[in-house]
Amino acid sequence: MKRNLQIKELFLKNFDKPVTELKFKNLYELIVCVMLSAQCTDKRVNLITPNLFKAYPDIKSLANANLSSLKSYIQSCSFFNNKAQNLIKMAKAVYENFNGEIPLNEKDLKSLAGVGQKTAHVVLIEWCGANFMAVDTHVFRVSHRLNLSKAKTPEATEEDLTRIFKDNLNYLHQAMVLFGRYTCKAKKPLCKECFLSHLCTSKDKEI
């Protein structure tokens, strides 16, 4: 569809090879950041992780972490109790099942505690530049406002976007995240500044 192609081209033009706003130095830090970012802002995660990574600089130290101590580092993050448990379980599984090396394929990543499809895809997108789409709250909202998907779940929305866009999915994912975060916001979207306004028929549109 011509309109969908225009949307794709405008995303790629307005966001030149965008990357995540999460701050990380290696694959271990990336997977921890992405796990923490579920239903939490990247800004909040970036405030938490410097001290967290000082205390637990690698998979081994995280696998051996004391649960209550770990919680104290991430308690300002949403769902920190669950996340602390999953982080330790994830690290133990990496250490025991993958010789301490975080796997870089979807199936093995999803076998880790706290790593669903979205988290696995974001890790592969950011670390490998994999041609995957990942659907968070921003991507879900943007894709529905732009009538790219009517799906009820993030997984089904991801299928729609993958079918429509086909390639450059890694960049399109991150472009849609940033677009949803700063322009097509949940409340008071900045429609007057939007480069897709002429292609948008959303009921949320503010003129």
Residues serving a catalytic function are 118, 136
Could you give the CA distance from residue 170 to residue 46 in angstroms, rounded to a whole number?
Answer: 21
Please provide the DSSP assignment of the chain as one string.
-HHHHHHHHHHHHHSSS---S---SSHHHHHHHHHHHTTS-HHHHHHHHHHHHHH--SHHHHHT--HHHHHHHHTTSTTHHHHHHHHHHHHHHHHHHSTT----SHHHHHTSTT--HHHHHHHHHHHH--S-----HHHHHHHHHTTS---SSHHHHHHHHHHHH-S-HHHHHHHHHHHHHHTS-SSS--GGG-TTGGG---TT---
